[in-house]
C-alpha cells in the first residue's frame, strides 16, 4: 500500500497545477479511456457541473452545503486547494482522509500504468486528470448520492466533463486562461458552454453582451432548459441597489424560496457573492423539482452552513496582527470584486496589500485595479510554484505605476513585513492578502500560528 505522502509527491511530479503539460492537448478521449478501465465510476454518482471564470467554487460549495442540509450524502470536487490537496475531494463537508486518498491514487495510477503498457494511453494522465478520476472513484466507493463538480479550466474539454450532468451551472464569465480558452469573451463562453447537455437544466444569469448570445444559442441548439437565477437575486432597495446587508461577517437578506420566505445568511461576503448565491439557490430549487430532499428551510440552513475559506475571509485584529482580509482574487474580475467589497466594508480605512501572483495571469491589470487603493504594497513570491511571478518583475510594475512598495523573498517574511507596516499606519489599518489562491494558502497557516501564539 502506497503512503499518503508518496501519493502526493507522485501526483505533483505529474505537473503542479497546469491541467495539461505544455506539450499536451486538451481532449477527453484519454480521460474516457481511463474512466472506462476504472469501471466508469463517474456514471455511478449523479453529478452537477459548475463552470465559469469567477464564483464557481463559491457556487459549488454553497450548493453542496444545501444538499447536505437536505440529508443527501454529497460529494464536492473543487480546485485548486488552499492548504492540503485533500480539500479538493470532500464528502459531506469533510476532506477525503489521507488513507483513502492514497488508496484512490494507487487504484487510478495502477490502472493508468496498465493502459500505457498496453498502448491504450500514450502517456500517464495529467495531475488534474488523475485527481479528477480519484474523486470519481472515491464518490462511487463511498456511495455518494450526488456530486457537485467544479470544472477546472474551460468546460468543453475539461476532465470533469466526462460526466453526464443532471444539471449544469455557468457562473460569471470573464477573460482568463486566454492561452488555452481563446482571446475573446465569446470564445471563452463557447468553451464554458461545453458543459451543457441536451434536455438538461442549465442555470445561469444574464452576463456580458458578448457572452449572452453564445450561451443562449448553445442552449437552443441542444434543447437545454435554460433557467435564469435572476429570480433569486435579492430584491432592490429604493435606491436601486440589492438590499442585502452584512451582519457578523454574513451576507443576509430575505428571499422567497420554494414558496416560503426565509432569511438567507451566507458567510460569503461581498456583492459579487449575491450572484453566486442566486445560482446555488436556483439550482437547489430545480433539484427539489427533480425529487431531491430539498426544502426552503434546508436551503436557508445549507447557505448558512457553507464553508469556503479564503473568499473575503476576515480576521479580527489581535495582539499578533491588525485586522486582515484574505481573498483569492487571481484575475481582473476577481480584483474588481475584491475592490468593490473593500469599498463597501472598509471605506476610508488605510490599507496594506500583501501581493503575489502567477506570471500567466493578468498581473498588470490586477495591479492597476488594487494597488492604487493601498498605502503600501508588499510584494513576494509563492514557494515551489514554477508559474509564480518573480518579485523583481512585480517591483518593476510597482515602479511603473508609482505605488509605494517593499519586497520580501518568501511569504512568511512578507507576512511579517506587511503586519509591521500595517501597524505603523495605526490601529484602524487593514492588511489585505490577495493575488493568488496559492498566496492565500501559504499565508493562512502563518497568520493562524500567529493567532495561536498571541
How many folded domains does the chain comprise? 2
Last residue of a domain, one of 304, 326, 359: 304
Last residue of a domain, one of 253, 284, 304: 304
**Is there a contact between 185 and 211 (Cβ–Cβ < 8 Å)?**
yes
Return d(Cα 197, Cα 199) in angstroms, integer.
6
Question: How many CB atoms neighbour CB 71 within 10 A?
Answer: 12
- Note whether 48 and 166 are same-domain residues: yes
- Note whether 291 and 363 are same-domain residues: no
Domain of 392, in residue numbers: 313-453
- Note whether 352 and 244 are same-domain residues: no
Give the pLDDT confidence score for residue 445 in this predicted structure.
85
The residue count for the chain:
454
Return d(Cα 149, Cα 161) in angstroms, integer.
9
Beta-strand (E) ranges in 33-126?
47-51, 74-77, 89-91, 94-95
Give the pLDDT confidence score for residue 242 in this predicted structure.
54
Give the model confidence (pLDDT) of 64-114 as tens digits. 999 999 999 999 999 989 889 999 999 999 999 999 999 999 999 999 999
Q: Alpha helix (H) ranges present in 145-257?
A: 178-181, 185-192, 212-222
Query: Which of these, 243, 261, 241, lies nearest to 252 by C-alpha position?
Result: 243
User: For residue 284, what is its C-alpha cell?
Assistant: 437547489
- Note whether 297 and 351 are same-domain residues: no
**Backbone Cα Rg of the chain:** 22
- Note whether 62 and 130 are same-domain residues: yes
CATH number for position 411: 3.90.190.20
Query: Which of these, 150, 149, 153, 176, lies nearest to 336 by C-alpha position?
Result: 176
Question: How many CB atoms neighbour CB 256 within 10 A?
Answer: 12
- Note whether 255 and 327 are same-domain residues: no
- Note whether 356 and 389 are same-domain residues: yes
Beta-strand (E) ranges in 243-360?
245-247, 250-257, 260-266, 313-315, 323-326, 351-355
CATH number for position 196: 3.40.1190.10
Q: Which ranges of the chain have pLDDT less than 70?
A: 16-26, 175-183, 236-250, 449-454
Give the pLDDT confidence score for residue 23 in this predicted structure.
45
- Note whether 296 and 325 are same-domain residues: no
- Note whether 285 and 330 are same-domain residues: no
Neighbouring C-alpha atoms within 13 Å toward the C-beta of 168: 28
Last residue of a domain, one of 240, 275, 304: 304
Give the model confidence (pLDDT) of 15-48 as tens digits. 754 444 444 556 799 999 999 999 999 999 999 9
- Note whether 162 and 217 are same-domain residues: yes
Give the pLDDT confidence score for residue 1 in this predicted structure.
83
- Note whether 283 and 352 are same-domain residues: no
- Note whether 173 and 207 are same-domain residues: yes
Give the pLDDT confidence score for residue 24 in this predicted structure.
54
User: Distance of CA 181 to CAs 167, 186, 192, 286, Å?
Assistant: 23, 10, 9, 29
Amino acid at each position: 500500500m502506497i503512503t499518503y505522502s508518496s501519493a502526493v509527491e507522485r501526483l505533483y511530479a505529474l505537473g503542479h497545477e497546469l491541467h495539461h503539460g505544455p506539450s499536451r492537448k486538451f481532449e477527453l478521449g484519454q480521460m474516457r479511456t481511463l474512466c472506462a478501465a476504472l469501471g466508469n465510476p463517474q456514471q455511478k454518482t449523479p453529478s452537477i457541473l459548475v463552470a465559469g471564470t469567477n464564483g464557481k467554487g463559491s457556487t459549488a460549495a454553497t450548493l453542496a452545503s444545501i444538499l447536505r442540509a437536505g440529508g443527501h450524502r454529497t460529494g464536492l470536487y473543487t480546485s485548486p486547494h488552499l492548504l492540503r490537496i485533500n480539500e479538493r475531494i470532500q464528502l459531506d463537508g469533510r476532506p477525503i482522509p489521507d488513507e483513502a486518498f492514497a488508496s484512490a491514487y494507487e487504484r487510478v495510477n495502477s490502472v493508468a500504468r496498465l493502459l500505457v503498457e498496453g498502448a491504450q494511453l500514450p502517456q500517464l494522465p495529467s495531475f488534474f486528470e488523475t485527481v479528477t478520476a480519484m474523486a470519481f472513484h472515491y464518490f462511487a466507493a463511498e456511495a455518494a448520492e450526488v456530486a457537485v463538480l467544479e470544472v477546472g479550466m474551460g468546460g468543453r474539454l475539461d476532465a470533469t466533463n466526462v460526466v453526464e450532468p443532471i444539471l449544469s451551472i455557468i457562473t460569471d464569465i470573464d477573460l482568463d486562461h486566454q492561452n488555452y480558452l481563446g482571446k475573446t469573451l465569446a470564445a471563452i463562453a463557447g468553451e464554458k458552454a461545453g458543459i451543457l447537455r441536451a434536455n438538461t437544466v442549465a442555470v445561469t444569469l444574464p452576463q456580458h453582451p458578448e457572452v449572452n448570445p453564445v450561451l443562449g444559442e448553445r442552449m437552443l441548439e441542444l434543447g437545454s432548459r435554460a433557467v435564469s437565477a435572476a429570480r433569486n437575486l435579492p430584491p432592490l432597495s429604493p435606491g436601486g441597489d440589492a438590499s442585502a446587508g452584512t451582519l457578523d461577517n454574513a451576507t443576509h437578506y430575505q428571499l422567497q424560496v420554494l414558496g416560503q420566505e426565509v432569511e438567507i445568511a451566507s458567510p460569503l461576503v461581498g456583492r459579487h457573492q449575491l450572484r453566486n448565491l442566486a445560482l446555488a439557490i436556483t439550482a437547489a430549487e430545480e433539484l427539489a423539482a427533480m425529487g431531491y430532499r430539498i426544502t426552503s428551510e434546508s436551503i436557508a440552513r445549507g447557505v448558512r452552513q457553507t464553508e469556503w475559506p479564503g473568499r473575503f475571509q476576515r480576521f479580527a485584529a489581535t495582539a499578533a496582527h491588525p485586522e486582515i482580509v484574505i481573498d483569492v482574487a487571481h484575475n481582473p474580475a476577481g480584483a474588481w470584486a475584491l475592490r468593490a467589497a473593500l469599498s463597501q466594508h472598509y471605506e476610508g480605512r488605510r490599507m496594506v496589500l500583501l501581493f503575489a501572483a502567477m506570471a500567466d495571469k493578468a498581473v498588470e491589470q490586477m495591479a492597476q485595479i488594487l494597488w492604487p487603493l493601498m498605502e503600501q504594497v508588499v510584494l513576494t513570491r509563492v514557494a515551489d510554484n514554477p508559474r509564480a511571478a518573480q518579485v523583481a518583475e512585480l517591483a518593476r510594475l510597482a515602479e511603473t505605476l508609482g505605488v509605494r512598495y517593499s519586497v520580501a523573498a518568501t511569504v512568511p517574511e512578507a507576512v511579517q513585513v506587511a503586519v509591521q507596516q500595517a501597524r505603523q499606519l495605526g490601529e484602524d489599518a487593514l492588511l489585505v492578502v490577495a493575488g493568488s489562491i496559492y498566496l492565500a494558502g501559504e499565508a493562512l497557516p502563518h497568520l493562524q500560528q500567529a493567532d495561536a501564539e498571541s
